[in-house]
Structure 1
Amino acid sequence: MATTPASPMRSVDRALDVLGVLEDARLPLRLSEVARRADLHVATAQRILNVLVDRGYAAKEDTGYVAGPAAVATAHAFLVNNRLTPVALPILQELAATTGLTPTLFVRVGSARVPIARVEGRNPLRYQLPIGDKLPLHLGAGKALLAWLPEDEQGACVAAAVPFTRASGQQITAEDLTAELRDVKQNGFALSQDERVLDVTSVSAPVLKDGHLLGALSVVGPSSDLPGSDHARVITEVRHAAGAVAARCP
């Protein structure tokens, strides 16, 4: 019995699934592992990888497949053409000067957040936070995005994340995270301590324009640079900066 060819849209979905697998991988992946993570037959994954390699969106190394250089060009096109970065950079620079911390602008990509602009504070972070890196929504600045998602999308993200353990050792259930997100939305900001990295504190606020979530603005630094006595001032600065980005965004 003849099989029905996959629709063009289904083929695009599968190709993007494979590309997403390569984006998330920290090491080269063998064909069988790409197929498993993308939930595809090995032969289908091979055909898609062949096309992605030809177009430069994947590369084949001795130990497996990795994302290709064409993805860098796509990322550059976004950074040059998106409407947030140009208006946000001077605001991030001012925020770095007034707080001494490192401000970053994030946008949501599926169930992750991606930094698209950053200005270093007085004391650079001891860990890397590359532009374009995928980070979780349920930790740190991600909560300033997750709290404003529609209820069904938020619920799906919460269900996929829990249970988990923060860097501090605190174990988080679905009930814990849902209650925290409710508080974040009610208060208009997220204050995070020792969540993804020990001895690091961040303050984050959503960038909202006419009720539409554009991104999240966060400042982060060593906890010693952001003592409890300074939280209120920094929260005000971050919320004001997030509002300024939204107001200037066309």
Structure 2
Amino acid sequence: MQTPNSGPLKSTETTLEIVEAIREHGALGVTETATILDIPKSTASDHLRTLRKHGYLITEDGKYRLGLRFLELGDHARNDHGFFKTAKPEVDQLARNTGELVHLSVKENGAGVIIYEAEGERAVSLDTFVGRRVPMHCTALGQVMLANMSRERVAEIIAEKGLPAVTEETITDEERFFRHLETVREDGYATIRGERVPELGSIAVPVKKNGTVFGAVSVCCPMSRASDERFEAELPKRVLEAANRITLDLKYS
């Protein structure tokens, strides 16, 4: 009988750890991979060659790097997500109307995952990209999704992820954070000012399907061009309208 950490299960775990190591460190050789994962070189070599055989890795200068097969799978996963196909036109239009950077995200395993972004003519450059997992406690996208979860589920996520300070503006006190989520729930949208990136503001609105929050749409902009009127009225109105149209489209899709 297989134990939880032996046989095929352990082999699969090792394969996934190798993929994650290459994602984090960049191209790796056999020795580097074995050192990072603390496994025999022969084991590392076997896994690397198998991943290369199936197109998940490529070799350059004796090192292995991620292959575009992952891009193919990611694109398929996103396109298979009805949420993306329905929301994309509205996200593009919102970026054009505001001139800012717009994100579309879903929640997965206690994190927010960006599945699409559109850039308006004045879009700020950020460290975000499609597939990027962002913390939920210090992003408008994450906060608006957390605000629509049960207190018990949010507490579980906090217990696992914590409320680490990313900037001086990040809310790190649990009770204060829960009070903030209550405000977000009442308002119907989340706003942050410098909680993840200094001097950057963001507004997010949840998207629902059959009454359940499916994801969120957000607009990001530098606080230098976010007057009180724009940040507290104009942008929330535009994001709310876009999210409501997506929710309506999902209802009949």
Question: TM-score w.r.t. structure 2 length?
Answer: 0.78
Check the 8 A contact 2:171/2:195 in 1, yes or no: no
Letter aligned with residue 96 of structure 1 = A
Q: 1:186 to 1:32 in 2, by over 3 A?
A: farther
Give aligned-pair identity as a percent: 23
What does residue 234 of structure 2 align with? 233
Which consecutive unaligned segments of at least 5 residues does structure 2 have?
none
Are 1:243 and 2:244 counterparts? Answer: yes
Q: Relative to structure 1, is the Cα distance of residues 17 and 139 closer, same or farther in structure 2, using a 3 angstrom cutoff?
A: farther
Tell me: CA distance 1:149–1:209, structure 2 relative to 1, closer, same or farther (3 Å).
same
What is the match of residue 129 of structure 1?
Answer: 128
- The DSSP-based 3-state class of the residue aligned with 2:218 is strand
Paired residues for 1:5-84 under 5 Å: 6=6, 10=9, 14=13, 18=17, 21-22=20-21, 25=24, 27-28=26-27, 30-31=32-33, 35=37, 46=44, 51-58=50-57, 66-84=65-83
Amino acid at match of 1:239: L
- The structural deviation recorded for 1:190 is 0.8
Unmatched segments (≥5 aa) in structure 1: none
Please tell me whether the aligned partners of residues 200 and 221 of structure 1 are also in contact (alpha carbons under 8 angstroms): yes
Describe the shift of the 1:19–1:80 C-alpha distance in structure 2 as closer, same or farther (beyond 3 A). farther
Separation in 1, partners of 2:22, 2:112: 13
1:219 to partner: Cα distance? 0.6
Higher alpha-carbon Rg: 2
| Residues 105-132 of structure 1: per-residue CA shift (max 9 Å, x gap) | 1112323222222221231213242222
TM normalised by structure 1 equals: 0.79
Range that drifts further, 189-198 or 98-107: 98-107
CA distance in 2, matches of 1:238, 1:19: 40
Pair 169,235 (structure 1): closer, same or farther in 2 beyond 3 Å: closer
Judge conservation of contact 1:35–1:45 (CA < 8 Å) in 2.
no
Post-superposition offset of 1:137: 1.6
1:143 aligns with 2:152: no
**How many positions carry a matched residue from both structures?**
244
Farther-moved stretch of structure 1 (10-19 vs 148-157): 10-19
CA distance in 1, matches of 2:58, 2:220: 35
Q: Judging changes above 3 Å, is the alpha-carbon distance between structure 1 residues 244 and 219 closer, same or farther for their aligned structure 2 residues?
A: same
Equivalent residue of 1:201, what SS?
A: strand
What's the CA shift for 1:170?
A: 4.6
Change (3 A) 1:60 1:183: farther
2:104 aligned with 1:102: no
Change (3 A) 1:63 1:222: farther
Counterpart for residue 155 of structure 2: 155
* SS in structure 2 at match of 1:236: helix
Q: 1:4 to 1:229 in 2, by over 3 A?
A: closer
Amino acid across the alignment from 2:240: R
CA RMSD of aligned residues (A): 3.3
Measured against aligned partners, the alpha-carbon deviations of 1:151-201 in whole angstroms (never above 9, x if no partner) come to 443222212333422324556122232332232223221101111111111
